[in-house]
């Protein structure tokens, strides 16, 4: 059985993830891809455009981690960790990964709807309206980002 995380433990987990070199490298790589394909053209091109994309990517990752791993999981008593199912048939492991964005563990044991994940993603996407180019702001853009985040979290959790 996994240990219960206190709010202090959840804050520590958030900070650990926020400075993870893998995540930082992935964000820098993603900013490069966005630069090459001119995603969010309001940021422009050149070094300034890349730096804006990198900064917004780092802000996105940090705010999403803060809201999902610490704030909402602490307030709602949910476990923000993902426990991989390392053995068993592929389909069983895939189903385990697919339901994770919707179902999570409670601090008290058992499972519940993943409110901390949904609310955290929504809060982080809403916050991004403060620094995204004007053409990528608004309610529609916010919920589009939340919607696209769900399948990407499934891919991230597949073994």
If pLDDT is split at 50, 70 and 90, which confidence band does 158 have?
A: very low
Is the confidence at residue 110, as pLDDT, over 50? yes
Q: What is the pLDDT of residues 82-107, one digit of tens each?
A: 777 778 888 888 888 788 888 899 99
Structural domain includes residue 68? yes
If pLDDT is split at 50, 70 and 90, which confidence band does 155 have?
A: low
Q: What is the pLDDT of residues 133-151, one digit of tens each?
A: 999 999 999 999 888 877 6
Q: What is the pLDDT of residues 51-60, one digit of tens each?
A: 999 999 999 9
Neighbours of 134 (CB within 10 A): 8
Structural domain includes residue 1? no
DSSP 113-132: E-HHHHHHHHHHHHHGGGTS
Q: What is the pLDDT of residues 26-42, one digit of tens each?
A: 999 999 999 999 999 99
User: Could you tell me the residue range of the domain that residue 92 belongs to?
Assistant: 7-157
Structural domain includes residue 2? no
Return the pLDDT at 154.
Answer: 56
| Closest CA relative to residue 19, chosen from 49, 67, 61 | 61
- Residue 112, phi then psi, degrees to nearest 5: -155, 170
Give this prediction's pTM: 0.84
Structural domain includes residue 96? yes
In total, how many domains does the chain have?
Answer: 1
Q: How far apart are CA 155 and CA 143, in angstroms?
A: 19
Q: How far is CA 128 from CA 5, 74, 118, 146, in A?
A: 28, 22, 16, 11
Structural domain includes residue 101? yes
């Amino acid at each position: 059985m996994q240990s219960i995380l206190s709010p202090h433990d959840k804050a520590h987990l958030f900070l650990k993830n926020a400075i993870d070199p893998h995540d930082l490298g992935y964000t820098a790589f993603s900013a490069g891809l966005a630069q090459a394909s001119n995603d969010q053209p309001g940021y422009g091109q050149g070094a300034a455009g890349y730096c804006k994309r990198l900064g917004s990517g780092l802000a996105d990752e940090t705010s999403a981690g803060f809201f999902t791993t610490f704030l909402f999981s602490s307030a709602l008593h949910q476990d923000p960790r993902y426990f991989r199912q390392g053995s068993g048939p592929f389909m069983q492991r895939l189903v385990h990964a697919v339901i994770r964005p919707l179902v999570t563990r409670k601090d008290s044991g058992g499972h519940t709807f993943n409110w901390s994940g949904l609310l955290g993603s929504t809060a982080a996407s809403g916050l991004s309206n403060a620094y995204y180019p004007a053409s990528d702001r608004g309610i529609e853009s916010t919920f589009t980002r939340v919607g696209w985040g769900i399948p990407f979290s499934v891919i991230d959790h597949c073994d």
